[in-house]
Structure 1
Amino acid sequence: MAAMSDPTAMAFKSYQSKAEVLVKDYLISEPFIPYSSVFGGLLACKMVYDLTQLISTFYLKSYNGLTKLQRIEWNNRGISTVHAVFISAMSLYFVFWSDLFSDRRSDGLVIFRNSPLSTFSLGVSVGYFLADLGMILWLYPSLGGMEYVIHHSLSGIAVAYSMFSGEGQLYTYMVLISEVTTPEINMRWFLDMAGMKRSNAYLINGVVIFFAWLIARILLFIYIFNHVYLHYDEVMQMHVMGYLLVLVVPSALGIMNLMWFAKIVKGLKKTLAKRQ
């Protein structure tokens, strides 16, 4: 028996060794990280979509009462929620806890710093933006109007450039912190679809959205613009494409955030008025 198992064990070790070489030399090798991470992001989106559909079908009665298009949007929002949790956590880590972009470091300009992990995380986000933008365009305008197309296009281009070039990753992560508001926005839609629009949970969710949006999409962008101003001498050393993206994308998204914030304030006022 031992003699028979030895060839099997040797074959298994051989395949294991080949797999490790494949992963080390290609999937997580620095030149291939942008491509493998984008593919991983696309694959993760597909997996989350299927899991959301499976779990919702068996455990949420309200899900089965939705139309086909509403179920697609439900599953799509499941993807955006998981991506938002992942990328906002990574963004907070790199911006506020990691020393990768710290001003205390003296190893090169902050605008050109990057790491395999920071590049990989951005690649996963690019995969998400590609998947979500594809669904939005395929079912346009059911999953979102032109503002969503513009938002995802600008975000995807900026994140992809930062991932491939290694430039401006700090500012990319600063902007991506704003994804922390996405789960609350999605939860509001889920509660609405579940017939809980008049519940306390819906009201609390609206208040949370107001403060989260104010902090992550208004005050944070003021912080970003101030940081760019203080490090403008470094920003000017970027490639012209990166330079324009650092100036244009946060400005465009900031304007859109203000427009959406006005709608949030209006909706919250309307909800509170009905409670009185």
Structure 2
Amino acid sequence: MLETKEMISFKSYQDQANMFVKDYILADSLIPYTSVIGGILACKLIYDLTQLIGTNYFKTYNSFSKIQRIEWNNRAISTIHSIFITAMSLYLVFCSDLFSDDQSTDPITVRSSSLSTFALGVSVGYFIADIAMIFWYFPSLGGYEYVVHHTLSLVAVAYSMLSGEGQLYTYMVLISETTTPGINLRWYLDVAGMKRSKAYLINGVVIFLAWMVARILLFVYMFYHVYLHFDQVEKMHIVGQILVIVVPMVLSVMNLVWFAKIVRGLRKTLAKRQ
């Protein structure tokens, strides 16, 4: 009898918790704000966990300078974010029916869902946390090019999250985050003294291929998609139109500049091994 009362009491608390999450935390009107806060808190949690794990399980970590340990933790945050947002972007762009031409008569430029808005909010939280760290430790965690990249990304993602406009193209651009784990791994191998290892060489080749696909060819495909649906893009607010066209163009130029550096670096690495 006592167990039955306890089960009923637990079920009551569980129902109240579920109702609170559904009606407040995940309510459509509150998703942008709760997801952004959740993204920022997740960054803090990952930072602390990375610091704890590094201190207790990696001897190399303890030999680093203060700024190297901070960058190690910061790159862990960007790696986890990139995995999350890449998975969400690939699903929403290529697997979900949300942006399919055959599933709705609404223009693709104004389609959104609770899931797509939530994922963008988490990404906004990450960009806020990361750019705050970049400014706080400037220029140790990145120079002006990182400030420009993160500022443009933050504005574009935040606008798409709040307005619901252009989410398809925002996710297409966010797929480029798939290159981040490779870039971070390259830094980890470097500071660990493994620059001459086979893993470092393989990582360089993977970065080259991933960058070419995710940050060069995919952007070409995105611009082609915008061209095919330009009549729908024109129906967006002027701010949305600018963010859909101008921001990816600026990021494309930056991607090409960085790609040239990747090619030069890979060529030097291969030349040293001949």
Q: Which runs of 5 or more residues in structure 1 are unaligned?
A: none
Q: 1:142 aligns to what SS in structure 2?
A: coil
Code of the residue aligned with 1:232 in structure 2: it is F
- CA apart distance, 1:2: 3.2
For residue 27 of structure 1, what is the aligned residue in structure 2?
25
Code of the residue aligned with 1:217 in structure 2: it is R
Q: Hey, what's the Cα distance between the residues in 2 that align with 1:13 and 1:172?
A: 40
Which runs of 4 or more aligned residues in structure 1 lie more than 6 Å from their structure 2 counterparts after TM superposition? none
For residue 65 of structure 1, what is the aligned residue in structure 2?
63
Code of the residue aligned with 1:81 in structure 2: it is T
- CA apart distance, 1:23: 1.0
For residue 201 of structure 1, what is the aligned residue in structure 2?
199
**For 1:165, which of 152, 163, 166 is the aligned residue?**
163
Q: Percent identity of the aligned residues?
A: 67
1:2 equivalent in alignment to 2:2: yes
Mapping 1:1-276, distance limit 5 Å: 2=2, 6=5, 12-276=10-274
Q: Deviations over 1:17-73 (max 9, x none)?
A: 432232111101111000111011011111111111111222222111100110000
- CA apart distance, 1:14: 5.0
Comparing 43-52 with 142-151, which one deviates more in the overlay? 43-52
Q: Deviations over 1:60-89 (max 9, x none)?
A: 221111001100000000000000000001
Q: Hey, what's the Cα distance between the residues in 2 that align with 1:106 and 1:115?
A: 13
- CA apart distance, 1:97: 0.9
Q: 1:140 aligns to what SS in structure 2?
A: coil
Q: Deviations over 1:127-166 (max 9, x none)?
A: 0000000000000000000000010000011000000110
Q: 2:142 aligns to what SS in structure 1?
A: coil
CA-based RMSD of the aligned residues comes to: 1.5
May I ask how many residue pairs the two structures share in their alignment?
274
Q: Hey, what's the Cα distance between the residues in 2 that align with 1:107 and 1:124?
A: 29
Q: Hey, what's the Cα distance between the residues in 1 that align with 2:141 and 2:233?
A: 36
Q: Hey, what's the Cα distance between the residues in 2 that align with 1:84 and 1:166?
A: 22
Q: Which runs of 5 or more residues in structure 2 are unaligned?
A: none
Code of the residue aligned with 2:81 in structure 1: it is H
Comparing 11-20 with 60-69, which one deviates more in the overlay? 11-20
- CA apart distance, 1:250: 0.3
Code of the residue aligned with 2:106 in structure 1: it is G
